């Protein structure tokens, strides 16, 4: 059992569940940042994801300098346009309508900081949504309610049926935390990962 203190800079139940797959002892602290303030300054959606992940880790690291901090953020990118968490059924239906029949990217950035080292990782997943009718979108949204998910789908649930093709190196990145590369970094830092 490692004596290192590990903090996930997130309130996301998805990220918490993912991290618990590879390590049992960690804390969760929600960083308080204004994500909207970073959108205008970002030159690209990839830069936005990386900046937000780094900022989340930095905020928690400043309060807990003795710990290793994991910050993460995910951006759904449709032709350079950020598709955020919809929060309402109307926005979700609009996003799914825009994604219907098209490829888009999910950019998942992870920043691990602490102990005089900061390591930033960016995972890109390409997804092609099948063509969806208005009725299919409505049926999906009433059954899965993905209003807290970037891009308006919950791929680990019924949302998988919306897709025609997925190209990725690490399926867990789609849910919010790329465990393959994260496990490598945590092993490097001395955590005992299976």
Distances (CA, A) of 169 to 22, 150, 153, 173: 18, 19, 20, 9
Residue 73 known to be catalytic? yes
| DSSP per-residue letters across the chain | -----EEEE---HHHHHHHHTT-S--EE------THHHHTT-SSHHHHHHHHHHHHHHHHHHH-TTSEEEEEEEEEEETTEEE----SHHHHHHHHHHHTT-EEEEEEEEEEEETTEEEEEEEEEEEEEPP--HHHHHHHHHHH--TTSTTS--TTTGGGGGEEEEE-S-THHHHT--HHHHHHHHHHTT----
66, 73, 169, 170: which one is catalytic? 73
- Please identify every residue annotated as catalytic: 73
């Amino acid at each position: 059992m490692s004596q290192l203190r590990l903090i996930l800079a997130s309130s996301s139940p998805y990220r918490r569940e993912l991290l618990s797959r590879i390590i049992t002892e960690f804390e969760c602290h929600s960083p308080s940042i204004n994500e909207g303030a970073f959108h205008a300054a970002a030159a690209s959606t990839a830069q936005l994801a990386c900046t937000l992940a780094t900022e989340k880790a930095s905020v928690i690291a400043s309060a807990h300098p003795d710990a290793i901090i994991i910050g993460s953020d995910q951006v759904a990118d449709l032709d350079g346009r950020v598709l955020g968490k919809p929060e309402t059924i109307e926005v979700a239906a609009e996003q799914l309508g825009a994604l219907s029949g098209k490829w888009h990217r999910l950019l998942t950035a992870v920043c691990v900081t602490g102990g005089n080292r900061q390591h930033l990782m960016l995972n890109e997943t390409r997804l092609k949504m099948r063509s969806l009718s208005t009725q299919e979108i409505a049926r999906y949204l009433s059954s899965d309610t993905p209003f807290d998910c970037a891009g308006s789908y919950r791929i680990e649930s019924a949302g998988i049926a919306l897709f025609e093709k997925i190209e990725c190196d690490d399926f867990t990145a789609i849910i919010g935390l790329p465990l393959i590369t994260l496990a490598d970094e945590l092993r490097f830092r001395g955590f005992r990962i299976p």
